[in-house]
Structure formats: structure tokens, C-alpha cells
Amino acid sequence: MPASRSVPARAVNVYESTETETGNSYTSTFHADGRFTNDLGNEGRWTYEDGVLCITVQDTELCNPFEAGEIGESVTTDEWRADGVEITITRIE
């Protein structure tokens, strides 16, 4: 696996994202081969380099500083949704 894809410490990292206002949640999976999938039906690619994670789905790319953290750790942010919705991201695997 290339060094640029080292953020997920395991072959697969899984995160649950929960919208702050609605409580709606979905699960996103970062595969070791650079694929990104979530249970909303989105598929794309991810890269990680110099502490910045980039996720590309269709023609939309979002890049932000990111640390994988330990299972159970969470962060709340409005930077990981193209529509600016605030979410809490929790690593679950």
C-alpha cells in the first residue's frame, strides 16, 4: 500500500457520521485500495498525504486535515459535507 494512503491504520477503516440537527446517520468505509463507499450509495476515491484527507465522489472533492484516531473517538465538524451540514464523525472500525 502506498505511503500516501496511510491514514487508515488497518486495511479498512469505518466511520459513522451523524448529522447534528437531524440525528440522521450513515456509515462510510475507506478501503485500503483507495476506494470510498458509504451506505447512502456514494462511491469514490480517497487519498491521504501530509495530514490531509481528500475524498472525491463524482465531481466533488473535499480535502481537510484529518487524523484517523482510535475506535470510538469522534470529531464534530461542518467541513466534511459539501452542503455544510454539521456532522459528528465517529470511528467504529
Residue range 41-51, pLDDT digits in tens: 999 999 999 99
Give the pLDDT of residue 11: 65
For the whole prediction, is pTM greater than 0.85?
Answer: no
Contact in structure between 17 and 80 (CB atoms under 8 Å)? yes
Q: What pLDDT is stored for residue 87 in this prediction?
A: 94
What letter would DSSP give residue 32? T
Mean pLDDT on 21-32: 95
User: Rounded to whole angstroms, how far apart are CA atoms 61 and 4?
Assistant: 17
The residue whose grid cell reads 485500503 is 32
**If DSSP codes are grouped into helix, strand and coil, which group holds residue 93?**
coil
